[in-house]
Amino acid sequence: MPQGRPTAVPADGLTTRQRRNRPLTLLHTGEMKGKSTAAFGLALRGWNQGWSIGVFQFVKSAKWKVGEETAFRALGRLHEQTGEGGPVEWHKMGEGWSWSRKQGTEEDHAAAAREGWAEIARRLRAERHGLYVLDEFTYPLHWGWVDVAEVVAALRDRPGHQHVVITGRHAPRALVDAADLVVEMTKVKHPMDAGQKGQKGIEW
């Protein structure tokens, strides 16, 4: 539900419209379910606006395929065929670009994450997408594989009107500070507490 009442109006010299239309950096963090699903729900809104959607999944195995991927690839094909919505690109660690395909050492994974980020940074400079989903990108940041200060600078300096949503636990402080919106998914209750394991359609 859109909510129309800002809690403060800053003396930044911008009109409400200018301020309204600034691109956002959104961060979904916390221990609980909902970080990635909320990012993909948001991407549905962007797709409907006709934005180019770029999804970049970190950490996940190239073999691992979530239901969202199939659905978004279908929406991307629909755009190609009918012009409805926007185009969709979906990239995973372990496939595409220059991601390492082999089960490698930690240094291999770190290098692959850095190459992945370098590609995203190139796309940001080129204004390639309207919305970027950097799924589970907090982990390579948390592990020190990708430099947080470099990411914050690239987000701050990105041209045009590109929204970026980043998901994952252990978000570094500098990323929280740089984000416009930060949601923490917190646990009230989880089926795991009652001995129930994850199941298809719910967890993937």
Contact set for a second copy, span 96-135 (CB under 8 A): 130-131
Of residues 2, 83, 102, 156, which one binds a second copy by CB under 8 A? Answer: 2
The residue within the footprint of a second copy, chosen from 78, 110, 111, 118 (CB under 8 A), is 78
Please say which residue, 20 or 102, places its beta carbon nearer to a second copy: 20
**Measured from the CB of residue 178, what is the shortest distance to a second copy in angstroms?**
10
Of the candidate residues 21, 101, 159, 170, the single one contacting a second copy (CB under 8 A): 21
Q: Which is nearer to a second copy, 23 or 96 (CB)?
A: 23
Least spacing, CB of residue 122 vs a second copy, in Å: 23
How far CA 141 is from CA of 71, 127, 129, 156, in Å, comes to: 28, 23, 22, 17
Q: Does 172 bind a second copy (CB under 8 A)?
A: no
Choices 97-105, 114-122, 149-157, 178-186; region in contact with a second copy by CB under 8 A:
178-186
What's the min distance (Å) between Cβ of 167 and a second copy? 10
Pair 38, 28: CB distance under 8 Å: yes
Q: How far is the CB of 116 from a second copy (least distance, A)?
A: 18
Distance CA 198, CA 9 (A): 44
In this structure, are residues 54 and 71 in contact, taking their beta carbons and an 8 Å threshold?
Answer: no
| Closest distance of CB 64 from a second copy, Å | 9
- For residues 39 and 28, the answer to whether their CB atoms sit within 8 Å is yes
User: Hunting for tokens 């923490």 — which residue is that?
Assistant: 184
Please report, for residues 12, 16, 124, 198, the alpha-carbon distance to residue 195 in angstroms, rounded to integers and kept in the order given.
52, 50, 43, 10
- Residue 168, both tokens: 């994952």
Nearer to a second copy by Cβ, of 38 and 122: the residue is 38
Helices (H), 8-87: 16-20, 35-48, 67-82
User: What is the spatial distance between Cα 53 and Cα 50, in angstroms, rounded to a whole number?
Assistant: 9
If one asks whether residue 67 binds a second copy (CB under 8 A), the answer comes out as yes
Token pair listed for 145: 């594989």
CB of 45 to a second copy, least distance (A): 3
